[in-house]
Amino acid sequence: MAMLLATILDPRCKRTHGWPNELRERVKVELKVQYDEIKPQNNTQPEENFSNNNSSIDRFHAYIFGPQVIEENEDTEFDNYFRTPQASYDTNPFQWWQNNKDSFPVLYELARKYLCIPATSVPSERLFSDAGNQICEERNRLKASTVTELLFLKRNSEYFNVFK
């Protein structure tokens, strides 16, 4: 799931074209759960607008209409991230998050968590091993893009139900 969360937090890939709808929604739900865990809890009471001038008309309006409550639309950060245009392919995702951390502070923290370099070389060694298994004497004329797609499917087959 970590790799899928990293993919959806990459501003170049957040639209997740080609993903089954069920997988896309499952990843968004998991991201929302983690977002809600990090999101600062706003335990303050709603802001009330009262006039400093306590004239009789103001007291009358407050009695009839009640206090004016300003409600904030929660989760705008989460929703706005998916509404913003997808970044171009040559965009540096780390620079994009650095530039947009004020707009998406909670998602910025999640991006820092998931868009990091793995601490070990095991995943890359597995990938090289898989590449060696894909390219052999019988398959030595595959295009680089085809090998890339085969390796992607191999590493992500459990999420796409391709080989089952």
Q: State the amino acid at position 156 in one-letter form.
A: N
CB 110 within 8 A of CB 81: no
DSSP 8-state secondary structure symbol assigned to residue 86: P
The structure tokens listed for 109 are: 């923290």
Per-residue pLDDT tens listing for the chain (164 residues):
888 888 889 999 888 777 888 888 898 999 999 998 888 764 444 444 444 556 777 776 676 666 554 444 456 888 899 889 989 889 999 999 999 999 999 999 999 998 886 666 677 788 788 888 788 777 888 888 888 888 888 887 777 765 55
Long-range contact set of residues 28-35: C-beta below 8 Å, sequence gap at least 24? 28/82, 30/1, 30/4, 30/5, 31/5, 31/78, 31/110, 32/78, 34/5, 34/110, 35/78, 35/106, 35/107, 35/110
Run of H or E including 7: helix 2-9
C-alpha to C-alpha distance for 5 and 151, rounded to whole angstroms: 19
C-alpha to C-alpha distance for 129 and 145, rounded to whole angstroms: 18
CB 156 within 8 A of CB 130: no
